[in-house]
Structure 1
Amino acid sequence: MSQSMAQQVGALIPYLRRYARALTGSQSSGDAYVAAVLEAIVADPSIVPRDTDMRVALYKTFCSLWQSIDLNLEEAGLGEGTEQHANRRLGAIAPLHRQAFLLVTVEEFTVKETAEILGLSVEETSRLIDEVGSEIAEQMATDVLIIEDEPIIAMDIEALVTNLGHRVSGIARTHTEAIEAVRKHPPGLVLADIQLADGSSGLDAVNEMLADYQVPVIFITAYPERLLTGEKPEPAFLITKPFQPDMVTAVISQALFFEAKAGARAEDQTA
């Protein structure tokens, strides 16, 4: 890989990691797939042609490798345990319509670009995206805690999650308010900003919550690259400000989807 190509690809990696994590629901699994993409490009730089959109080509390479799930997991060296069990059901978790929806709403590709990435026609891609609407409508409603210090943004998020059929259990502006809200009414989902009103950290508040409660969390930030640093812990679900309503809808859908799957698996194991 030439230095120029390496620089272009490097600038896109934080966003590819975001997509991979939203797709798999796991930090380690998502990063394993991204690592496989980079290895493939190093081995054969021609798979990312210079005369094409680098971002489209990179995601297209990822989606091509995605079709070889077992091979990728074996090469990534993922061991036995929770991660392996999660990845065994990837085919069911992320069929084409979920991939198409995430590419359009979270990664903000056009339908035409998404069709190219997935190797589908524009018409088929549009149909797949439309199908997700009915799936989201079937999601079980839950209580949502919003951790956001900007009143207007908090109101927008509240309206959005309410329109999706969820209930807002509270809106917190600081670390202290967030912890108090969780103790008063444990939520089924948390939407958390990073920098809060009093200078405290939404990330610290969430880490404190997760020590006592198991709940899916979606982080919201204007600087996603500051969180996707390669150091642990890193968020599996990340929304970039300014965000579009469809982006929030898509990520909420993914987060609750994985939570429902995890709950079903736990019930199966105790049955």
Structure 2
Amino acid sequence: MKIRTISQILGEENESIFGFDGVIIEKDFLSKGQTWVISGAAGIGKSVLAMQLALGLAFGEKTLGLEIFKPAKTLLLHNENPIIDEKIYFRGIVSQFALDEKPNADRLNENLRIVCKTGRYYSVDEFISKLDASLSAGKYDVVIVDSLSSFVHCNFSDHAAVADLFCKINGLKSKHNFAMVLIHHFDKPMFWSKRFHPAKWCMGGKAIGVYANLMSALVGTKEESVFSFRHYKPFEDSEISQTLIAQCQNGNTAWEEVENV
């Protein structure tokens, strides 16, 4: 908390008054200290979306319909696919960004770090301890976990267990000042309900909605190859935006924006 006099406020540049250094994605979408949960059904392409988001954040370039405020040092924890698959996915995503045409393409090596598949679950305390060690070793603006349930052994149907996990995540955010992005799975279809926004269809969605600043869902549309990337602020109980995205038609594994609605 910074205390100012009226003279100091009038003498400062507007940018410093509003603390834009903490902004990750524009229009008050995501800032440091916040938690963003992205969910979807199995096999829908969440891992590719996570990789593409990581590259967009690291490079500071619009992706998935989101305006990245500036390049962000990003840590991607990936525990969903074998390394050989990751290579294929990353080749397609990198191609989508057309890095060979950009003079500052080496920014990705500076801003993006990846922890590949570990092949095991962690308890909540083990996960928090390992993440704390990674954050202590290098300062990051954003941490993306793909996926939450593949890293952390947690009963997401137990509100107390979810509360414990997210309170400990919040402790790390306070200590290291970063934004957390958690890739999560939809619950079984029998639990989906029209009473809830699709963002709350994820495992433990009702409990997670208490602790997340932003919840998003990747859901199908009437067009077979087109999906809606929908964003929702739990506390406001309202959808703030959505973007229609589809797998690239040029053979890459990346997503491309079809329409911003």
TM tier, smaller: under 0.3
Greater fraction of residues in strand: 2
TM-score (norm 2): 0.26
Greater fraction of residues in helix: 1
TM-score (norm 1): 0.26
Q: Which has the higher contact order (CA 8 A, sep 6+)?
A: 2
